[in-house]
Structure 1
Amino acid sequence: MSDIIIISGSPTELSRSEQVLKYLGSLLESNALSVSHFSVKDVSSQDLVAGNYNSPAIKQIAAAIEEAKGVIIGSPVYKGAYSGVLKAFIDILPQDILKHKPVLPLMTGGSPSHLLALEYSLKPLLATLKAHNLKGLYLLDEEIDKHNAIPIIGKDILERSRKQLDYFTQLVRHPALALSETY
């Protein structure tokens, strides 16, 4: 069992959002939390398109999410929303899989005009799964160097990312905080 599950909604092999998610996972691991990474690429396209709830990969991922204390989920912005493959992935997860779990949503995009995709697409989707959404992170592509060990290259966004990760860690370690504070 892992403390934290990280889910990448990027269908691209070396994406900016996936590199940021991996970096956040490394920060969590350095903070004595166990982390497992999953990607939409871990589920066959046939299972995603057919909505195969009984896919062995989906069952394995769902079991890991159910046992985890928190989830980080990220996606690049496509057409003003999360990736379609992420939606197909989420559609075949159990309905209340994120119930009462702290969830840190993350999106990456090429323009500041896509900032609201986090608020108007990804966070409402996660709320349907009963997630306890944190504020979340939106990073511009220009703020990410996917070939760098620390992919977040802007000082301000790096600090904001670490702050959100600290809030997330507090909720994971002390779930009662979720009842008394808004992050």
Structure 2
Amino acid sequence: MKSAKAITKERGKNMTKVTLIVGANSLSSRLNGLVAYAQQVLFEYKIQTQVIQVHMLPAEALMTADYTDKTIQAVNQQVLNSDGVLVFTPIFQGSYSGILKAYLDVLPPKALQDKVVYGLGLGGSKHHLLALQYALEPVLKELGTEELLQSTFATQDQVVKDGRDFIIEDSVTNRIDEQLYRFTSRIGHEVIKEEARWEKIV
């Protein structure tokens, strides 16, 4: 007979795990409003999440592509152990952020293979929308993902900082809800509160 501790440990190993890779330059970035919202939705689905804030990783290791750095190895292992990955980036001058690129460059080859991947971007105007499709998504495919959902883009005026919180336009949260529903289904996770979720989307 297994002890309660052993059963809890076994359940932890079998829990659906999703890693959120965030390419913002600071925690105060409005991009983190999208991160917090996505985490909230995944929490409702009872999915375990872990966040990699790229700007908090060792700068020298990123700049020199030091694969042997212990912190880099640890976060890379988180990605490898995940069932799915969300990638968040601000859009600057028609491309994703430089620090996100630096981190994607130190991921192992085919690190996203057998994982469902979903990208989210935040930019100054709708003209930056195609940066996700033509700049970020090809890199994610190069890293091995064959399950790449259509990315979601929001403009900065759709995410407003309110003290420590963020207010996000319904048009954005509805699109995120819809894609995260697909995301959780694709990773084989039992969808919780299916009817309520679709009522919100519709």
**TM-score over 0.5 for the alignment?**
yes
Partner of 1:67: 81
**Hey, what's the Cα distance between the residues in 2 that align with 1:79 and 1:46?**
24
Question: One-letter code of the match for 1:71?
Answer: V
Report deviation, 1:144.
Answer: 0.5
In structure 2, relative to structure 1, the CA distance for the partners of 1:112 and 1:73 (3 Å cut) is same
Q: Offset at 1:103?
A: 0.5
CA distance in 2, matches of 1:165, 1:64: 20
Note the alpha carbon deviations across 1:122-179, whole angstroms, 9 max, x for none.
11111110122100100111110233787353222221110011111111225xxxxx
Of residues 123, 135, 143 in structure 2, which corresponds to 1:109? 123
Indicate the SS of the match to 1:145: strand
User: Given the two structures, how large is their TM-score scaled by the length of structure 1?
Assistant: 0.89
**Equivalent runs, 1:29-40 vs 2, <5 Å:** 29-40=43-54
CA distance in structure 1 between the partners assigned to 2:151 and 2:20 by the alignment: 14
Q: Does 1:135 align with 2:145?
A: no
Moved over 2 A (4+): 146-153
Q: Can you list the C-alpha shifts for 1:37-73, whole angstroms capped at 9, x where unaligned?
A: 1111231111111110111111111111111110001
Which amino acid counterpart does residue 77 of structure 1 have in structure 2? Answer: I
Amino acid aligned to 2:140: L
Q: 1:23, 1:150 within 8 Å by CA — same for their partners in 2?
A: no
- DSSP-derived class of the 1:52 partner: coil
SS in 1 for 2:27: coil
Indicate the RMSD between aligned Cα atoms, in angstroms: 1.8
The DSSP-based 3-state class of the residue aligned with 1:130 is coil
Aligned to 2:181: 166
Contact 2:22–2:52 (8 Å) recurs in 1: yes
Measure, in 2, the Cα distance between the counterparts of 1:87 and 1:97. 14
Partner SS for 1:151: strand
Q: If you compute each CA radius of gyration, which structure gives the higher value, 1 or 2?
A: 2
Structure 1 stretch displaced more, 161-170 or 141-150: 141-150
In 2, distance between residues paired with 1:152 and 1:123? 27
Give 5+ residue unaligned stretches, structure 1. 175-183
State whether residues 5 and 71 of structure 1, in contact with CA within 8 Å, keep that contact through their aligned partners in structure 2.
yes
Amino acid at match of 1:134: L
For the pair 1:123 / 2:137, whether they are aligned, the reply is: yes
Q: Extract unaligned runs of 5+ from structure 2.
A: 1-12, 190-202
Show the counterpart of 2:107: 93
Residues paired across the two proteins, number: 175
8 A contact 1:152–1:158 mirrored in 2: no
Alpha-carbon distance in structure 2 between the residues aligned to 1:167 and 1:45: 35
- Identity across the alignment (%): 29
- Pair 1:81–1:147, CA change in 2 (3 A): same
Secondary structure of the 1:146 match is strand
